[in-house]
Each structure stands twice: as structure tokens, then as C-alpha cells.
Structure 1
Amino acid sequence: MNRRTWTVVFASTLALALGVLGASLPVPLVALGPGPTYDTLGTVDGATVVQVDGLPVYPTSGHLNMTTVSVTDRLTMFSALALWASPESQVVPREPIYPSSMSLDEIQQQNNAQFTSSEANAEAAALDELQLPATVIVSSLVPDTPAAGILQPGDELLAVAGRPMDSVREVSDVLGPTHPGDTVAVQYRRAGEVRDVQIPLAARPDREQGLLGVILGARLRDGDIRISLGGIGGPSAGLMFSLAVVDKLTPDDLAGGRFVAGTGAIEPTGTVTPINGIPFKMRKAHDEGATVFLVPAANCEEAVATNPGDLQLVRVGTLHEAVTALESLKAGGPVPAC
């Protein structure tokens, strides 16, 4: 073969090799995009998402949709390029989503734990908003604090500093004037046995008050709340779960027939914290017919910049603010906007 023929053969072989590699060789990237959205007032696969037993439940209308982000893994060079060019996706490094230090099973377990925690936080926040008597539960413990060697997950917290506990907020209120190193009396129930202990308080980086070292949840004292939505991970559905509980347990119809969607992790005291992926969540909600989107206050700037259409963006910092905003929206009043 002459030089020209050899050049053609070499170039063809190289192109074929690059094509095979580009189509099969994985790259350390994932693609984020809009995920499914679910109405927390409705049913999914025949199961009621938020079920309340033992208390009067009031009719609801409209939607209170939680939103999600999809993650496409195992990208090749070609698929990554195609998704990078798509306005529906964002290609990002894989490591923050799937840390190499963890197996896929461990990551899934972590996501499931976060989702379970969001369900517990949502119930606690809703009970606090409704001022319903609750049983305060130790959900988990902060490592390397005195409480971690005394209390256990599942313990019922009966009293702190001599004050009976009916909500997670009451625990926070009691600890407000304390300082690291103080000792606080704690009464709790474990396996039916009531116990009294003295627990030294640790330091916390964000406040001057003492840290008891427990992550608390709450469950309805007279009745039962069940949140059922399998196959979802992460903490960002907490706000919408809480709103569904409040809506079902109050005569006011929060959604008022509107298609309201939103996102936001929630703490047991009702504080709404920021989340990731809000552009994709808003896009899916808009495509499904939502007209109102509840945005954690810290996500407002990003939400305004990526609003996919004419979604009305409502800024919320707490569950109470979200409830008040929906009530005002229903009455035709002003709402805090992003």
C-alpha cells in the first residue's frame, strides 16, 4: 500500500478506536435534570402519601407537590457531551454526588436515612405549628457529646430541667439560657421504664447556648401520622410533607384549588433550609401545571434567575411563613416574593 492508503487506514482505525472509547468508556461525570413530582395531598401507586388517623381530617383541594432532581450516572464521553448540550440537563463532577469513599449501597442507605429524617422532621414541625401535644423522641445523637453515652435513639424525652416536654420547640426554649458545661436534668422513658439523669451540655459552633447533643423528632400523642412515599432519597421534601399534614388537620384549605409546588428541607422546629437543584424542580413543576412555587429564602436568588416561566415564587423561611403565605394567597392578599 502506498503512503496515502496507509494514511487513510490509520485515520480510519484511529477514528474507530475513538468512537468505541467515546461510546463505552465511562467518565467521572453525572447529569442532573428534572425528576418526578408528587402531590403530597394525593396518592402514589394507590397509597395515600400523608395518612392521619385518630384526629378529624378535613377536605383539601388543589395540589401541594414535592419536587425532585433526577441523576443520570454511568455517562460515556458521547452521552456526557449530548447531555451537556441539552438545556434540560446539567453535567457535573460525579464525586460530590457519589463519593468514591462510599459504596453505592452506602450512598443509597444515606439517602434513605435523610428521607426518613425529613419525614420525621416534617411531622414534628407540623405538630409544633398546630400546637398539638406530641411525644418527643430521640432520633439520633451527636457524636462525642455526653448525651451520646447516656441516651439512645427511640428514647422518649419526658422532661428537661423539670419542665414537661410536649414539642421539640419546648426543648430548644428550655436550653436557650444555658451555657456549655452546665448540667441539665433529663427525664426519659426507655422500654417502658422512666429514668432520670443529669447530662452535661456540650459547646455548639453556631450559638452560645449549651448543646444537649440529641437530634429530636416528635410523633402525635393521640393519633398517628404516616408518610408513605418509597424510592425517594434526600431531605428536600420536608416542607411539602409538613404543609400536607397541616392542610389535612385544619379546616382551612391551604392550596385553595391551586397547583402549588415547592421544596425545602425542614427542621423539627419549622425552620426551612436551602436545597440543591431548584432550577430542575421548578421546570418540572411548571411543566406539570404548577402556578405557585414555594422557595426556601436562601434559594431565592437562584430561583429568580432560573424561573422557567411565569411561576409565582413565594419566599419561605419557616413552616409558619409558608402556611401564612398560602392563606394570604387564597384570600387574594400579598405574599412574600423572591
Structure 2
Amino acid sequence: MPRRTASMLASTLLLIAMLCAAVLIEVPYAGMSPGPTYNTLGKVHGEEVLSFPDRDVSDNRASGHLNMTTVRVTGSEYRMNLFEAVYGWISDDDAVVPHSTLYPDDKSAEEVDEENAEEFSRSQESAKVAALRELGRKVPTRVIVQSVLKGGPSQGVLHAGDVIKAVDGKRVRTPQQVADLVTKHEPGEKVRFTVVPADRAEAAEKAKKNPSALEGEELTLSTEKADDGRAIVGIQPGTAHTFPFPIKITLADVGGPSAGLMFSLGIVDKLTDEDLTGGAFVAGTGTIDDKGRVGAIGGIGMKTIAAREKGAEFFLTPARNCATAAADKPEGLTLVKVRTLDDALDSLEKIREDRLSGLPRCTTG
């Protein structure tokens, strides 16, 4: 066999061996790519994303898009090979991150999925609150027992959904106040809770009454010592709200808190006569709290790509994500900086009135 032919054959065999090795060698990374987007003003699988069972919104004139965006990630059990990792690193539309970034080593896949589902649920709650308050509706807030630690002092005494009215006789209005009052004690001391049991609170809700207005019951618990030395009673306090009417959000297989802003905008659009977009295709992302403040999210680059591929012209971007998003902006997509729900509504007004020069745009600086 000629030396040149032998060299080419050896090189080819070596290349094949390297490719096979790249496919077989597992690396501790996970992949992210642009996910689907959903118009909060439209339908998914024949069902309205946002619906209002007790209200007729059939005359709503919404004509454009207010699309929430998502990121597609590889599953917790998926093991990326070296070839896929290299492809992801050089691809403009994909990202490769350490596996532990998406799936921490100290949490099971089920725990991660549960956390994502809980964050998505809380984001829906906050989106409803922010939207209704923007529309001038009162939405009473109450402090509740969000969860009870198994084996802790509260197990069998307090229950998820119980309304916490006071701790040691002092009225509480936020979960942080509950934690502060409990940790004032030394481990082993008694702490007194005033609560409305979950079943009574649920009955009040069904009767469209504020559970916080009900008379509470006195319960005494012993505190125990946490790992950091603080006194605890083994609960996670949270908040719940009494809505003036039901708002239903129907969207499966989505997790995390990043759809909050777009849900709020969709609710405002559907409950008012104003067509917020004026027919424009607007997408966006961002967490939202009860006060309408917009927070940063992960995977911003994947979301802007997904939005533009779907046809979006404008992208509502959390202020803290602006620099990253602007550094690799898809062509033809205007990145609009938002810090609050009011910012987003002001920008939508400029878009529908074609006053685009006044939009607060994202920059790399």
C-alpha cells in the first residue's frame, strides 16, 4: 500500500475513533435551547390561556400578541456527550451549562420539578394580584402556613393553608414578620400562634369572604433549635390572596417564575377595552411581585431567539437582563427595558401609538 494512502487511511481511522469517543464520553453538562412561546391573549390546545369563569370578556378587542417565552432544557437524567457539548458551545442558538446549574446535586429531579411547579404557581398568583391592583381592584392579602416540616414541632398542630393572624399576640402582615417573631425566642421556649384553620379559611373563600377577618384560634408550640442556632417551629410561612373574581391560567408543561409579567399584561388587556398592543407582536419575560415590580430571569438569550423566530417585533426585557440581551440581540427585534408593570404598559402605549423613538431600549452599557 502506498505511504500516502496508508497515511490517509490512518488519519481517517483516527478521526472515526475520535468521533466515536466524543459520542461515548459523557460530560457533566446540560443543554439549553429556545423553547416554545405562548400568546397569553390566545389559546393553547383549544383552551384560552387566560379565562375568567364569572366574567364575559368576549367583547375584548385584543388583536396582537403578548407572548410569554420559555427555554427548553435537557432532562435531569440525560447525560450529554462530548460531541453534543462542543456543538452547543459553538452554536449561536444553544447554550451549554454545568449540569448542577439546572439540577443541583443536593436535590432530586422530583424536587427540582416540584420547585419549578411551585414557582410557576406563585408567579401566576402574583401576576393576578399585580394586574388587578393596576386596574384599581382591591386584593386582600393574608399570611398562611405554606408548608409544615415533617417531624417538626408544628406537625399535627399547624397545617398548610392555615391563616396566621398573630404570633405572641402581635398581628402579622408578612411572612417575614412571622419568622422574626419566632426567632426572637430561645430554642425550647413556647410561642403562641393565632390562626384560622385551613378548612374554615377555604369555606370563607368559597363564600367570597376574606379569611383574615375570621376569629382566630390560639395554639401554643414549642420551638426547637435549627442548624444555625435559631429558634424555629418547622413551618414555611407564605401569602395567599382573596380575589374579587376567579382568574384561570391554563398552561401545562411550563415551570418557573419568568412568565409573571406577560400574564399580568394579558390579564390587564383582557379586562379592559383598550387593545394594549394595537395589533403589534410583542413578546417578553420577567418575574413579577404583588407590587408590580419586574425581576430578572435566566436564559434571556434563548428567549429572545424564540420570540424573534415566532415573529415578535418587540421584546419586554427586565432591566437587569438588558445588557446581556443586547449583547447578542436577534436582528429585527427591539429590546424594551422594563422595571415595573407600569413601565411595560407605558411602552405598550408608545408601541400602539407608533411613538417608537420614546421607547426605553436595552443597551450593552
TM-score range, shorter chain: 0.7 to 0.9
The one-character-per-residue Cα deviations of 1:24-77 (angstroms, maximum 9, x if unpaired) are: 232111222211111111111111111112234233110000001122342111
Distance 1:316 1:158, change over 3 A: farther
Counterpart position of 1:154: 161
More off after superposition, 256-265 vs 91-100: 91-100
Distance 1:159 1:107, change over 3 A: closer
Does structure 2 conserve the Cα–Cα contact (< 8 Å) formed by 1:32 and 1:90? yes
Tell me the distance in 2 between the aligned counterparts of 1:142 and 1:108: 19
Task: Pick one of 291, 306, 321 that aligns with 1:299.
Answer: 321
The question of 1:60 aligning with 2:62 is answered: yes
Counterpart position of 1:207: none
Counterpart position of 1:130: 135
Alpha-carbon RMSD across the aligned residues, in angstroms, is: 4.0
Distance 1:120 1:251, change over 3 A: same
Tell me the distance in 2 between the aligned counterparts of 1:14 and 1:219: 68
The question of 1:337 aligning with 2:361 is answered: yes
Counterpart position of 1:38: 38
Tell me the distance in 2 between the aligned counterparts of 1:30 and 1:99: 12
Counterpart position of 1:92: 97
- Counterparts in 2 of 1:184-223, with a 5 A limit? 188=196, 190-192=198-200, 194=214, 195=216, 214-221=237-244, 223=245
The one-character-per-residue Cα deviations of 1:195-241 (angstroms, maximum 9, x if unpaired) are: 16699xxxxxxxxxxxxx843242422x2101111101111011101
- Counterparts in 2 of 1:141-180, with a 5 A limit? 152-155=159-162, 171=173
More off after superposition, 106-115 vs 238-247: 106-115
Normalised to the residue count of structure 2, the TM-score between the two structures is 0.72
Tell me the distance in 2 between the aligned counterparts of 1:292 and 1:85: 27
Per-residue deviation at 1:17?
A: 5.6
Letter in 1 for 2:43: T
Counterpart position of 2:330: 308
Task: Pick one of 232, 239, 253 that aligns with 2:275.
Answer: 253
Normalised to the residue count of structure 1, the TM-score between the two structures is 0.77
SS of residue matched to 1:53: coil
Tell me the distance in 2 between the aligned counterparts of 1:96 and 1:42: 33
Per-residue deviation at 1:127?
A: 1.9
Tell me the distance in 1 between the aligned counterparts of 2:351 and 2:13: 65
Task: Pick one of 141, 146, 151 that aligns with 1:140.
Answer: 146
Does structure 1 conserve the Cα–Cα contact (< 8 Å) formed by 2:68 and 2:262? yes
Per-residue deviation at 1:155?
A: 4.0
Tell me the distance in 2 between the aligned counterparts of 1:254 and 1:332: 12
SS of residue matched to 2:316: strand
Identity of aligned residues (%): 38
Tell me the distance in 2 between the aligned counterparts of 1:34 and 1:321: 26
Counterpart position of 1:27: 27
Letter in 1 for 2:97: V
Letter in 2 for 1:30: A
Per-residue deviation at 1:100?
A: 2.0
Does structure 2 conserve the Cα–Cα contact (< 8 Å) formed by 1:121 and 1:217? no
SS of residue matched to 2:85: helix
SS of residue matched to 1:95: helix
Does structure 1 conserve the Cα–Cα contact (< 8 Å) formed by 2:41 and 2:65? yes
